[in-house]
Structure 1
Amino acid sequence: MRLSKAESALQERAAEFAAETIEPAAVEHERTSTHPTDIVREAAREGLTSASLPAEYGGGGLGITGSLLVREQLYAADPGIAEAITGSMFGCEIIANDGTEEQAERWVRPVTNGEIITGAAMTEPRGGSDFANTETQAVRNGDEYVLNGEKIFIGNGHIADAVLVFARTEDTDPPHRGLSSFVVESGTEGFYREELEGFTGPGAMALGRLELNDATVPVDARIGEEGDGFYQAMRTMNGSRLEIAASSIGAARGALDRTIEYTSERETFGKPVKDRQAVRHRIAEYEARLEALRTFTYETARDLEENVELAEEPAMAKLLAAQLAEEVASDAVQLHGGYGLLDEYLVEEYLRWSKIAQIYDGTNEIMRGIIAESVLDE
């Protein structure tokens, strides 16, 4: 795929940042389970958190392709820290695209500057994929909205300075027409957050649970009009699924590179592990699949940027990339032997992260449903 000068420069900057800043810190953050706030801010100053956001609000203005280029490099270095960096602007695309200029200046620009971290709250305890049946309520009271409900599995949920919360403003039939989105800032009375305990994902990831108990926000915290929330979220889904595909490709690349390095140095029965035919064939197959999937993902991103109508392609990319990340990471652990279970080799972290990629922004099962509907029910 041909890249513009700006895209090539961004890719090189992301690769350099991954090697010099992320990799040296990966094991420490995994062991301490601490959010890499300083690294996130440094990444923002390098333009790595906002490559796809509009230039008028401080973003890179490079569209979905810019985001994919960054993600591939960062996730290859360490998926946990990469998740913290790329997730620092959750919800900002919707605010930039559907909000007012004042709202974007208030919440998007500070993210591009590394001053604040945002989050987006869609998933609820009673359902994630069934977003249309969101139960959280937002009732208008004069110039304010009063929010009540609970959100779970929210990236940055307990540390974000502002969270884009999706809530029901009207009971409609069908139900998706009654959803709206609101920015709820930390410190809002009635807005309670806590870290999810027992999370087996990468230690650098921040995952929280939110509770809204008569949390009151002004009308100007609503993004767009009442009833726009579902459509706002759906307009971002194709892009976000391609982002997860690129992240998965990056993670698979990282796990495979570490495996190639280890099997080249490790000897068994007097010869390097990489010289075993079974190992060579396995690595060769992964190389071929990675390159083919990478090409497909970036071509789909170009189509999305050119407003080509897409149906199953982003779902295909996410499904296949997330599956491939798990396969590569699992074999990476296996080929490292006992060392593959030690955090200093990082390959077990890639394996744990691969399951996350198969769940959020639409599970593998949902992706298969989208693909099946497109090819079987037209």
Structure 2
Amino acid sequence: MRLSDEQAFVQQEVRRFAKEEIEPVAVEYEQNGTYPIDIIEHAADIDLLAPGFDETHGGAGMDLVTELLINEELHRADPGIAESVTSATFGCESIVEHGTTEQIEKYVLPATRGEKVSGVAMTEPEAGSDFARIQTTAERDGDEYVLNGDKVFISNGSVADFLVVYARTSSPERAHEGITAFVVETETPGLETTPMEGHLGPATTDIAQVFLNDVRVSEDDRLGAEGRGFYHVMEFLDESRLGVAVAAVGAARGALEMLIDYVSERQVFGESVSEKQAVRHRVANLRARLAAARSLVYQTARECEDADEFDTERAAMAKLVATTLLEEVSSEAVQLHGGYGCFDEYRVETYFRFSKIPQIYEGTNEVMREVIGDSTFD
């Protein structure tokens, strides 16, 4: 893929940052389950937390392709730390798009400076892919709303300073029309979080349950108009799915590079494992498919930029193809490392554990197939 001089420069700078700041501590942080707040702060110093935001919103004003290049390089270095870095401003996109000037100044700017961590509270025990069926409520009480409900699988849930919380403000016949978004500080009375321990995936990420018990927020904390929350999420998901796809591409690159390095050095029966035709062909297939997946992601990004809108079907295709391939690449990396592949010191097992996660969040791959199927047959 041909890059502009500026894009190539950014790519090299992020690669340098990853090599110096992430790779040396990746094993230690993973073993200790360290949330990488120090790396997040360093990333903020070089505009990596919200590169696509305008400068007035604390970003660097980068185009979508450059933003994806940053995401790819971070996940290539370590998927767990990369997830924490790229999600440190999760939810701020909606505040920038639908929030007030006061909300942007209060929440978005500190988050892009690495001073605050954000998150999004959407998923519920009985409402995952079927987001329109959420049961958390926000009842009007004068100039306040009272929020009640439970959220699960919330990224940054127990480390965030504020969350964009989606709740039901009405129950119309069309369920998706009754959902509203609120910006809620996690120290608000009645809001409690509990880390969800023992989850599949990197230990450097934070996943939590969020409990809302008579949480009072001001009308000024509402994000956009009442009943528009569902539409905010749908707008956001197309772009975020491209982000998931490129994260999978980056992680697949990292795992494949480790695989190639290992089989090139490993000796079996007096010769390098990389001399075995079966191994060479397996690696060749993975490289070719990874190149194709990467092209799909970036071609989709360029077309979306040219059209100034996101193609829902292509974003779904990119996520489906890239995340499915990541599981295969990381599985082969573990397999060809032999017994060593099962130990975190060799790192490929972290990529393998991560590989299921992007197949589930931002819409499961089953939902992606439905999106593609609807576009094909309807």
Equivalents in 2 of 1:138, 1:9: separation in Å? 47
SS at match of 1:215: strand
Q: Write out per-residue CA displacement over residues 82-107 of structure 1, whole angstroms, 9 at most, x where no aligned residue.
A: 00100101101000011111111111
- Which residue number in structure 2 is paired with residue 54 of structure 1? 54
- 2:164 and 2:183 in contact (8 A); partners too: yes
- 2:239 and 2:310 in contact (8 A); partners too: no
CA deviation after TM superposition for structure 1 residue 289, in Å? 1.1
- Which residue number in structure 2 is paired with residue 171 of structure 1? 171
- Which residue number in structure 2 is paired with residue 27 of structure 1? 27
CA deviation after TM superposition for structure 1 residue 34, in Å? 1.4
- Which residue number in structure 2 is paired with residue 313 of structure 1? 314
Equivalent AA in structure 1 for residue 340 of structure 2: Y
CA deviation after TM superposition for structure 1 residue 64, in Å? 2.8
- Which residue number in structure 2 is paired with residue 94 of structure 1? 94
Equivalents in 2 of 1:85, 1:233: separation in Å? 21
Structure 1: gaps spanning 5 or more residues: none
Whether 2:336 is the aligned partner of 1:335: answer yes
CA deviation after TM superposition for structure 1 residue 2, in Å? 3.5
CA deviation after TM superposition for structure 1 residue 65, in Å? 2.1
Whether 2:364 is the aligned partner of 1:363: answer yes
1:199/1:182 CA distance change after superposition, 3 Å? same
SS at match of 1:227: coil
- 2:201 and 2:353 in contact (8 A); partners too: yes
Equivalents in 2 of 1:259, 1:299: separation in Å? 27
CA deviation after TM superposition for structure 1 residue 309, in Å? 5.5
Equivalent positions of 1:93-112 (< 5 A) are: 93-112=93-112
CA deviation after TM superposition for structure 1 residue 353, in Å? 0.6
Equivalent AA in structure 2 for residue 331 of structure 1: E
Equivalents in 2 of 1:192, 1:237: separation in Å? 26
Equivalents in 2 of 1:275, 1:37: separation in Å? 43
SS at match of 2:159: coil
- 2:138 and 2:145 in contact (8 A); partners too: yes
- 2:245 and 2:319 in contact (8 A); partners too: yes
Equivalent AA in structure 2 for residue 153 of structure 1: F
SS at match of 1:201: coil
SS at match of 2:312: coil
CA deviation after TM superposition for structure 1 residue 67, in Å? 2.4
Equivalent AA in structure 2 for residue 223 of structure 1: L
- Which residue number in structure 2 is paired with residue 206 of structure 1? 206
Q: Write out per-residue CA displacement over residues 305-352 of structure 1, whole angstroms, 9 at most, x where no aligned residue.
A: 232462310001000100000000000000000000010111111011
Aligned residues: percent identity? 50
Equivalents in 2 of 1:100, 1:3: separation in Å? 35
Structure 2: gaps spanning 5 or more residues: none
Whether 2:360 is the aligned partner of 1:352: answer no
Equivalent AA in structure 1 for residue 196 of structure 2: L
Equivalent AA in structure 1 for residue 319 of structure 2: K
Equivalents in 2 of 1:229, 1:41: separation in Å? 30
CA deviation after TM superposition for structure 1 residue 56, in Å? 1.1
- Which residue number in structure 2 is paired with residue 129 of structure 1? 129
Q: Write out per-residue CA displacement over residues 8-42 of structure 1, whole angstroms, 9 at most, x where no aligned residue.
A: 33212211111111101100111011101111111
Equivalent AA in structure 1 for residue 35 of structure 2: H
- Which residue number in structure 2 is paired with residue 239 of structure 1? 239
Equivalent AA in structure 2 for residue 343 of structure 1: D
- 1:54 and 1:96 in contact (8 A); partners too: no
Q: CA-atom RMSD, angstroms?
A: 1.1
- 2:153 and 2:207 in contact (8 A); partners too: yes
Q: Write out per-residue CA displacement over residues 139-195 of structure 1, whole angstroms, 9 at most, x where no aligned residue.
A: 111111110001000000011001000111111121001111001102100000010
- Which residue number in structure 2 is paired with residue 251 of structure 1? 251
Q: Write out per-residue CA displacement over residues 120-151 of structure 1, whole angstroms, 9 at most, x where no aligned residue.
A: 11100112100011111011111111100010
Equivalents in 2 of 1:85, 1:170: separation in Å? 35
- 1:53 and 1:63 in contact (8 A); partners too: no
Equivalent positions of 1:59-98 (< 5 A) are: 59-98=59-98
Aligned length: 377
- 2:238 and 2:310 in contact (8 A); partners too: no
Equivalents in 1 of 2:42, 2:5: separation in Å? 23
CA deviation after TM superposition for structure 1 residue 45, in Å? 1.1
- 1:165 and 1:182 in contact (8 A); partners too: yes
Whether 2:139 is the aligned partner of 1:139: answer yes
- Which residue number in structure 1 is paired with residue 280 of structure 2? 280
SS at match of 1:312: helix
Equivalents in 1 of 2:63, 2:155: separation in Å? 22
SS at match of 2:250: helix
- Which residue number in structure 1 is paired with residue 114 of structure 2? 114
- Runs of 4+, deviation exceeding 4 Å: none
CA deviation after TM superposition for structure 1 residue 376, in Å? 1.4
- 1:7 and 1:62 in contact (8 A); partners too: no
Q: Write out per-residue CA displacement over residues 214-244 of structure 1, whole angstroms, 9 at most, x where no aligned residue.
A: 0011111111100110111110111110000
SS at match of 1:294: helix
